[in-house]
Amino acid sequence: MSEAGAASPSVEHLLRDLTPQVLGALTRRHRDFAAAEDAVQEALLDAALQWPNEGVPDNPAGWLYKAALRRFTDRVRSDVARRRREEQMAREEEMEVQAVEEEFEPEQDDTLMLLFMCAHPSLSTVTAIALMLRAVGGLTTREIAAAFFVSEATMAQRISRAKQTIKESNVSFVLPSATERTQRLEAVMHVLYLVFNEGYASSSGDSLQRVDLSNEAIRLTRKLHASTADSPEVAGMLALMLLTDARRAARTDAAGELIPLDEQDRELWDRALIEEGTALVTQAMSKGQVGPYQLQAAIAALHDESQSTDDADWAQIQALYLVLERMGDNPMVSLNRAVATAMVDGPDAGLQIVDALAKDDRLKGHYRVHAVRAHLHERAGRKDLALEQYRLAAEATANLPERNYLLRKAARLSES
């Protein structure tokens, strides 16, 4: 894309918001996700090239749907196996385009429905999650790869194979039944949480946060909670998002630079979100079916209720991380436990955990390993080792505010 045709940030945000609505509507009507996703991607490219120069249309969703529908129809016409449907599709196209030209009004918010549809039975859970993040979450292949600790090329192949698998599958790509939705719930929750994480702490770019992503994840999780009120884990995940997002205003300064937890002005934390999140996780855990999202929400609540970082109940936080580790093999949970252990038993106890984790291939070269090491060496008074690790962490992160913060920490140590 040339500079003249590059989409402005406002157009990019608008297209990201509209994509799941249009993709959901097209998929619901024509029952072919792979073809619909390709058609919408082509329509997005058309919009990104035209709108910055010609202006955003009065009805952008209708424009995008119309463009995607034409692309979809063109693909159908070129497919010999679908030749029998050509005439019918052409008639439907004319009827739909005529209606869209007047005004596009989605029959419903299809985004949540599309998430459940993407959790397709022909796909593995990991592959389905990657596809959901790409089609609905608006994440790039690079961002998805970072979430799964694999290379961008590997993730691109997985997503491509997922679309091909769906195309070749005999299972209809339609809204799943209530039973099927229950079976696919865990994958949908995983996607929403990954989208929230990418919004709250962007894996790359000039901004620490992508508020549009975190807000959308919270919105959809509220809808999911409303439709699955009997699920304590959905309630726990919503609580976790709210308790984490409550700190948003205090996480950056006026220039957008990162402010770590122990330096944040806690008066800026959103007390309404903290109260709502705490009530949700308290009620969820009282049901006796405790899962990982509830445990993480409980940890977030302990942080949010403390007056300072040192004042937090680190012994209880450490115990909760130990329970989380037993529930699943997540190296980031273990890395967080290392920090909690350091606060309870001293920095060297935390460093022993970090050194063991550094041998895990999933964390090889990850900036957070270096950052935690630096923090713990600094607490132990080993400035030279901390300085080295802060610099390594800064080199490894792709997020500019995080890099700037780590370099500032290194600079202060070198001057002291």
Cβ–Cβ under 8 Å, residues 130 and 159:
yes
Token pair of 206 as six digits: 């000039």
Dihedral Cα 404, 406, 408, 409, nearest 10 deg: 170
* Neighbour-count burial for 270-307, b at 16+ CB within 10 Å, e otherwise: beebbebbbebbeebbeeeebbbbbbbbbbbbbbbeee
Residues ≥6 apart with Cβ < 8 Å to 335: 353, 354, 357, 363, 368, 369, 372
Which residues lie below 8 Å from residue 188, measured CB to CB, with a gap of 6+? Answer: 112, 115, 116, 119, 132, 224
- How would CATH label the architecture of 335-416? Alpha Horseshoe (1.25)
Maximum pairwise Cα distance, the chain:
77
Enter the tokens of residue 130.
């990657």
The CA-based angle 86-47-192, given to 5 degrees, is 90
DSSP state of 339: H
Are 175 and 117 in contact by the 8 Å Cβ rule? The answer is yes
- CA quadruple 52, 53, 56, 62: dihedral sign: negative
CA distance 325 to 360: 15
CA–centroid distance for 179 within its chain:
26
In this predicted structure, what is the pLDDT of residue 132? Answer: 79
Q: Which residues touch 245 (CB under 8 Å, ≥6 apart)?
A: 196, 200, 214, 218, 270, 273
252: phi then psi, degrees, rounded to nearest 5: -135, 155
pLDDT (tens, 9 = 90+) of the chain, 416 residues, equals: 333 344 555 778 788 888 888 888 888 888 788 888 889 989 988 998 899 888 999 899 899 999 999 888 887 777 645 455 555 655 555 555 554 444 445 455 677 777 887 777 777 777 877 887 887 777 788 888 887 778 888 888 888 888 787 777 766 666 677 788 888 898 889 889 988 988 898 877 788 888 888 988 899 899 999 988 889 999 999 999 999 999 999 999 999 999 999 999 999 999 999 999 999 999 999 998 899 999 999 999 999 999 999 999 999 999 999 999 999 889 999 999 999 999 999 999 999 999 999 999 888 889 999 999 999 999 999 999 999 999 999 999 989 999 999 999 999 998 87
Backbone angles phi, psi at 182, to 5 degrees: -65, -40
DSSP single-letter state for residue 265:
-
pTM listed for this prediction: 0.75
> What pLDDT is attached to residue 96?
54
Beta bridge partners of 398: 204
pLDDT at 103: 46
**CB atoms inside a 10 Å sphere around CB 355:** 12
- Domain edges within the chain: 9-108, 110-169+178-202, 335-416
Q: What is the pLDDT of residue 97?
A: 52
pLDDT at 36: 87
